[in-house]
Structure 1
């Protein structure tokens, strides 16, 4: 009986399969596939460095199950592109099935050696993904801009151990090391001929000077940066550009070139000017998307830290602090420090600072921010360390952001704390009079606050896009002192007889 029942079930199953067999018959593709994109740009990549993976979808919008006879790269196995069709890797695929009103994913990536295809510093590498053959063939174009570059990285010894830099020792006398290397003499001059890609920390040796020519581009891998050792100097010699390509600007940024990484913070560490380094000069330079744009350290608590002259430069999108200075000596003109996860500018543990026509702003939108755009102190919070603040002068500038209080002064009693704000637009909206009795914020004292304007909008062009030009109706318009303001602004525009505060002269932005 059981045998007869089993035989009957098998017959029913066979009949059922036969009756719906048409559901599993695939028609030949007729060249009517749909694509989410017909051209795939794999962004810009460096020679021999793999791209990110791009994805697009292929649609069968018909009511029939179809088979695509062939999906292949036009260059075949010689192509530098790599494919995966619905998760299966390869260069050439045959008889790819696609159900009615369904879709499949195609993944594309590439790695190109520029020397195999071009003698120049960059070129477009192209290929085509061909779907079907003959009259039914449909194409998806692949385009990648490939840049030649100079790669700098820590070497490995015979045992495979990577080169490191000694920073010092901890409380238990254990060495503190980071991945990095000292630049050789023939590596100390960065030109504009090719971009540089740096892995780990590139260190300027003691008593040496690193120079960067106008138009140079330096790209940094994750947790990489520049570090200036004892008695060394960094000279970044950017120049005024005349086009939107910023052809003479020096640019420091992360090595992810995809548009989606354009404003991602914390992609690399930053520029580290140690307390023993000296005579640093930075002109017409953009430092973007670092953890700390510039850190001027004072780990040995010396009386005089690193010295820096910086002008016509921008520090954007730092995940922690834009410029972190400890007992430093800084002279800055036409400097913009914009958007940071903590403060845009920190000047702590004393030092000497002169800021003129600078814009310090913070409209951080990538999480909660509790720190002001500007913090000045003659101590380090939560420590007993103190050093005299010999000078902190902020003249013809802007300190603004989306918080009510955008600058904080932290003075340790009995230690020099010399500061002044003149002809500047400041954001200090003390809604609950928390600072009303604090003499540090006596805005009626002309010795420390002279000709300042409070809480009038600067009317920046677009803070989310790092555009800090101000409108003609800005609160910073015509409030600078013509005798102390810079002659030209950061864009090269003349200041005139009624100059504006901040790095930019105002224009009609039609806000």
Structure 2
């Protein structure tokens, strides 16, 4: 019996060996055979020094009638290359003897990390992947731009400082401005933040952008895929006690909370004056104020997973010629109105203990010549009741010469809160492309209060809104 089993095993082994031999014999050694590729160049966007890129993929095809063995796939730059490759799970820089059946394909994954270049300008980082098949040599080009940066990794600024603008700033973990320090960020500065990194200010922040050279704050992934992905970094946090802050001509995007402004401890002085800026595409809130005092003009707040602007824990706020919009929804349902106003908070002294209520006076939330609009039927959240009862704190808000998306249940003829307010669709140019300028048929045209506009004569595009004597609502003046 045992002998029969052995004989059967040997017979099966012979058959498998024969089949393997047949398959082996099917590999062609002809030098005329050529591979084909999904692209002749693998192109990367600008890559910051020391920061790895996202992964690019190259597909390699054998469109011939015979199986082949690829003798080698290698980086031309060898082990000193800035690039890394992986071929079907086998890491480079060189991988040898890769079988590729007729009509089949394989994946090559490519990444790049750029060493410091000691240059302010971006530098071209070239290389190529070389394929050798039966003495036939083919290559696919690799191209990336490497950019040197100023690195801030868990840094605390204790003295007054001015950021240089000759190359970008990259923030890891956090950049903290101490309570006795002022950080000035001049026009044209570029700040990039790694995952969850924050700019935290206990002292003073001065952002001094211009119409031609705005200050940009965004994540550190510059590939096209990340251009509209929120939640890439923590945001800017003006902590309780921070004072005399000003931000002008800034573009803050793709954060978790774009800008958080905490309680003001300096009576009569705004926590922040925010002008001519864009804050958008945040995975929570674009502007979150908590008992602060803000003056805002010529600003655009657009698209957030919760509210675009949330004025919470009371405070005092004035908005002039501002557009607050929310059309979030590409990859997550929105959870709040475009504008939320609140005058209390709740807390527990011990876990599982009773919920306690802390009223906070909302002394003012005023909006002039502004637009508050979005994709849901009610874009105004008025949160001044707890358990169905009004909170015992001031709740003063008003809208004058505005467009506001609210349902018919809200009485826009109430003079205490609304004066010359419309429900009409403002007709933004292209919300899918984050273009919140007004189109030619917009009802927001020419109906702004010129007295307000005189104090803010230049719009977010640098256009004079007084040229025709009829200012438009919102941050953008329509140019015919």
TM-score, with length taken from structure 1 = 0.84
Is the CA contact 2:158–2:181 (under 8 Å) kept in the aligned structure 1? Answer: no
Change (3 A) 1:488 1:13: same
Secondary structure of the structure 1 residue equivalent to 2:451: coil
User: Is 1:420 equivalent to 2:398 in the alignment?
Assistant: yes
Q: Is the 8 A contact 1:304 1:327 kept in 2?
A: no
In structure 2, do the counterparts of structure 1 residues 367 and 8 end up closer, same or farther at CA, with 3 Å as the change threshold?
closer
Determine the structure 1 residue equivalent to 2:421: 452
CA distance in 2, matches of 1:326, 1:315: 17
Counterpart of 2:342?
Answer: 377
Paired residues of 2:159 and 2:182 also in contact (CA < 8 A): no
Residue 301 of structure 1 and its aligned partner are, at CA, apart by 8.8
Pairing 1:506–2:466 present: no
Matched, 1:101 2:103: yes
Q: For 1:73-152, list aligned pairs within 5 A.
A: 73-115=75-117, 119-132=119-132, 136-152=136-152
Q: How do 1:72-471 and structure 2 match up within 5 A?
A: 72-115=74-117, 119-132=119-132, 136-154=136-154, 181-185=155-159, 188-229=161-202, 232-241=203-212, 248-298=213-263, 307-365=271-329, 366-380=331-345, 384-411=357-384, 412=390, 414-430=392-408, 433=409, 441-454=410-423, 456-471=424-439
CA contact (8 A) 2:34 2:133 kept: no
CA change 1:5–1:389 in 2 (3 A) is closer
Query: Deviation at 1:327?
Result: 1.6
Question: SS at 2:191's partner residue?
Answer: strand
SS in 1 for 2:345: coil
Shift of 1:390: 2.1
Alpha-carbon contact 1:459-1:471 (below 8 Å) kept: yes
- Note if 1:484 corresponds to 2:455: no
The alpha-carbon deviation at position 395 of structure 1 amounts to: 0.5
Aligned to 1:71: 73
How far apart, in 2, do the equivalents of 1:92 and 1:367 lie?
42
Which range moved further: 387-396 or 406-415?
Answer: 406-415
SS at 1:450's partner residue? strand
State whether residues 61 and 101 of structure 1, in contact with CA within 8 Å, keep that contact through their aligned partners in structure 2.
yes
Change (3 A) 1:120 1:55: same
Offset of 1:136 from its aligned partner?
3.1
Secondary structure of 1:137's partner?
strand
Residues 138 and 428 from structure 1, CA distance in 2 versus in 1: closer, same or farther, beyond 3 angstroms?
same
TM-score, normalised relative to structure 2: 0.89
User: For this pair of structures, how many residues does the alignment match?
Assistant: 460
Aligned residue for 2:57? 55
Q: In structure 2, what is the Cα distance between the partners aligned to 1:13 and 1:332?
A: 81
Alignment RMSD: 2.4
Contact kept, 8 Å, 1:208 with 1:233, in 2: the verdict is yes
How far did residue 2 of structure 1 move? 5.5
Distance 1:5 1:297 in 2: 81
CA distance in 2, matches of 1:326, 1:15: 77
Query: For the residues of structure 2 that align with 1:225 and 1:19, how far apart are their CA atoms?
Result: 62
SS of corresponding position for 2:44: strand
Unaligned ranges ≥5, structure 1 = 155-180, 242-247, 434-440
Is 1:329–1:351's contact at 8 Å kept on the other side of the alignment?
A: yes
Deviations 1:306-332 (A, max 9, x none): 611111101111111111112211111
The structure-2 alpha-carbon separation of the partners of 1:320 and 1:305, relative to structure 1 and needing over 3 Å to count, comes to farther
Q: Matches of 2:19 and 2:369 in 1, distance apart? A: 85
Give the distance between the partners of 1:16 and 1:310, measured in 2 at CA.
Answer: 76
Q: Aligned with 1:409: secondary structure? A: strand
